[in-house]
Amino acid sequence: MICEIIAAGSEMLTPHRQDTNSLWLTGRLNDLGVSVAFKTITGDKLDHLTQAAQIALARTDIVIFSGGLGPTEDDLTREAVAAALGLGLERSAELIADLYKRFAARRMKMPENNIRQADVIAGAVVLENKTGSASGQWLDTVYNGHRKIIILLPGPPKELMLVFNEQCVPRLAAVLPPRHIAKRVLRMALIPESQVDERTAPIYKKFRDVETTILAHPGEIQLHFECAKPTLEEAQARVDLLAGKIEDEMGDAIFSSQNAPLEEVVLLLLGMKQQTLATAESCTGGMIAERLTSISGSSRSFLGGAVVYSNELKTEFAGVPEELIAQHGAVSKQVAAALADGIRKRTGASLGVSVTGIAGPSGGTEEKPVGLVYIGLSDGRQTEVKKLNLTGGRERIRFWASQHALEMLRLKLLV
Ligand code: ATP
Ligand code: MG
């Protein structure tokens, strides 16, 4: 279904006032699956407004009028729409009573011309306006053999929004064809956004009915897909087809195609491979353990860990030889390896992970600058160490270090 919005008001044909109601209405209509095909602005002239109404009725299914429902001479929307449709106006006794009540409540005498606000197009439903005197109108009718929905809304933006949200959205939803939305999220760690876009754009651009957005999070890129169809099955089939093609392209870089966080995926893999994990963290201060334990059920695979900030505790808790620290320094490949292997042995876990680095902003040297981080991963047969040169502030370095450690674990568990 397509829609035309007609904004009535001579002030919007001057350089001083903009029609903003139609922008807001367009957003709401799009949410309902309705496209706005035309927008018209008319001055407060009966014949111009009538012509605009006739043109809109001839070319669209839904015609929405904004403004011109007030009591003054130049508020002519009711008359123009009735004339365009060849329908009469009926003065509603109920609305007259309401208007008198409104004025009485303010201890004012109602001016004679306000009665016009009680005029209702024959067959229209009155849309109550709780915040103003101009009621809206809803008309579901046949014009030249075609079904038309015609909506009259008050001009003041707050009134228009309230009347539309409360009274038109439910009515439109009941009239419009059913619309179901399916969504999918693919998540990737530690990969540049530009690379993701370069590789996936040729695929997702072919799916014009699926809306694709790339969102960057710290250490993570997410691809969001959304599709609207008459049935959920159709919508789901489209996003699943696209997600499948993207998965073929990106392969193991995707850590979740079900919107699961990296730590949850790592725990899932640990469980599947019947492995257990322990951590020895220096500069991340327990962040890996915190992320893992935020997932319910983590105790099945995560045994625990130690925050080994001082050299002494690296030795005491993870069995790192004092000489090794003296020889290579706490932030070194050798100590990262010994930490990972040591914590694994001490805890009886099948896998040990370690992090040692310089999170800054102080503590860096020329040889070992801020952002230098080593991640160790030991499985009892071999110990891998990854050297990172991270950038940014302390929090960023710490989070990215934890992200690298989890991603390293994931990739190991995949093979
Ligand atoms: P009222 O009872 O207030 O006269 P109305 O339905 O006759 O209601 P208008 O007189 O057309 O509405 O507009 C009232 C005020 O609402 C205008 O002065 C203007 O500030 C605002 N307005 C009207 N139309 C629009 C529009 N399309 N976009 C933004 N603001 C609008
Ligand atoms: Mg007015």
pLDDT mean values, one per 10 residues, the chain (415 residues): 96 97 95 92 97 98 97 95 97 93 91 92 96 94 96 98 98 90 94 96 97 95 94 95 98 96 98 98 98 97 97 97 97 98 98 97 93 98 98 96 98 95
Please enumerate in sequence order all residues whose Cβ is within 8 A of that of 97, keeping only pairs 6 or more positions apart, or say none.
none
* Euclidean distance between CA atoms 182 and 103, whole angstroms: 49
User: Of ligand 1's atoms, which has the minimum distance to the CA of residue 117?
Assistant: 2
pLDDT at 159: 97
Q: What is the dihedral of CA 76, 80, 83, 89, to 10 degrees?
A: -40
Q: Is any ligand 1 atom within 6 A of the Cβ of residue 200?
A: no
Nearest to 387 by CA among 343, 411, 356: 356
Helices 77-85 and 46-59: crossing angle, nearest 10°?
Answer: 50
Pairing of strands 89-91, 125-127: unpaired
**CATH number at 181-256:** 3.30.70.2860
Sheet of 35-42, strand order: 35-42, 2-8, 62-66, 146-153, 136-143, 125-127
**Predicted local distance difference test score (pLDDT) of residue 33:** 84
Q: What pLDDT is stored for residue 381 in this prediction?
A: 97
Asked whether 75 lines ligand 1 (CB < 6 A), one says yes
Contact 267, 221 (CB under 8 A): no
| Assigned token pair, 66 | 């904004």
Alpha carbon nearest to ligand 1 atom 25, residue: 155
CB of 132 shorter than 6 A to ligand 1: yes
pLDDT at 347: 97
Domain with CATH 3.90.950.20 in the chain: 262-414
| Cβ partners under 8 Å of residue 56, min gap 6 | 4, 6, 38, 40, 63
- The three state secondary structure string of the chain is CEEEEEEECHHHHCCCCCCCHHHHHHHHHHHCCCEEEEEEEECCCHHHHHHHHHHHHHHCCEEEEECCCCCCCCCCHHHHHHHHHCCCEEECHHHHHHHHHHHHHCCCCCCHHHHHHHEEECCCEEECCCCCCCCEEEEEEEECCEEEEEEEECCCHHHHHHHHHHHHHHHHHHHCCCCEEEEEEEEEECCCHHHHHHHHHHHHCCCCCEEEEEEEECCEEEEEEEEEECCHHHHHHHHHHHHHHHHHHHHHHEEECCCCCHHHHHHHHHHHCCCCEEEEECCCCCHHHHHHHCCCCHHHCEEEEEECCCHHHHHHHHCCCHHHHHHHCCCCHHHHHHHHHHHHHHHCCCEEEEEEECCCCCCCCCCCCCCEEEEEEECCCCEEEEEEECCCCHHHHHHHHHHHHHHHHHHHHHC
Provide the pLDDT for residue 31: 83
Which two structure tokens, joined as six digits, stand for 216? 């960057």
Counting Cβ atoms within 10 Å, is residue 312 exposed (0-12), middle (13-18) or buried (19+)? exposed
Nearest ligand to the C-alpha atom of residue 158:
1
- For residue 162, the CA-to-ligand 2 centroid distance in Å is 17
| Residue 131: exposure state from Cβ atoms within 10 A (0-12, 13-18, ≥19) | exposed
Is the CB–ligand 1 distance for residue 292 below 6 Å? Answer: no
Ligand 2 centroid to Cα of residue 92, in Å, is 20
Q: Among 64, 66, 116, 131, which is best to mutate for testing ligand 1, by the most ligand atoms less than 8 A from CB?
A: 66
Ramachandran angles phi, psi of 2, nearest 5°: -115, 155
Contact 201, 214 (CB under 8 A): no
- Look at residue 406 in the predicted model and tell me its pLDDT: 98
Q: Which ligand sits closest to the CA of 159?
A: 1
Ligand 1, atom 11: closest residue by C-alpha: 67
Q: Residue whose CA is closest, atom 1 of ligand 1?
A: 70
Say if ligand 1 is within 6 A of residue 136 CB: no
pLDDT of residue 43: 97
Q: Residue 305's closest CA among 297, 293, 295, 296?
A: 293
Both tokens of residue 316?
A: 């005491």
Ligand nearest to the backbone CA of 156: 1
Regarding the beta carbon of 7 and ligand 1, being less than 6 Å apart is answered yes
Verify whether ligand 1 is closer than 6 Å to residue 155 (CB atom): yes
- Residue 69 Cα to ligand 2 midpoint, Å, equals 6
Cα–Cα distance measured from residue 230 to residue 42, given in angstroms and rounded to the nearest whole number: 35
| Ligand 1 pocket residue status of 154, Cβ below 6 Å | yes
Q: Is 44 in the pocket of ligand 1 (CB under 6 A)?
A: no
> What local confidence, expressed as pLDDT, does residue 30 receive?
85
Residues of the chain with CATH 3.30.70.2860: 181-256
* Residue 263 in contact with ligand 1 by CB distance below 6 A: no
Write the CATH number of the domain with boundaries 2-175. Answer: 3.40.980.10
What architecture is the 262-414 domain classified under in CATH? Alpha-Beta Complex (3.90)
Among the bound ligands, the one closest to the CA of 66: 1
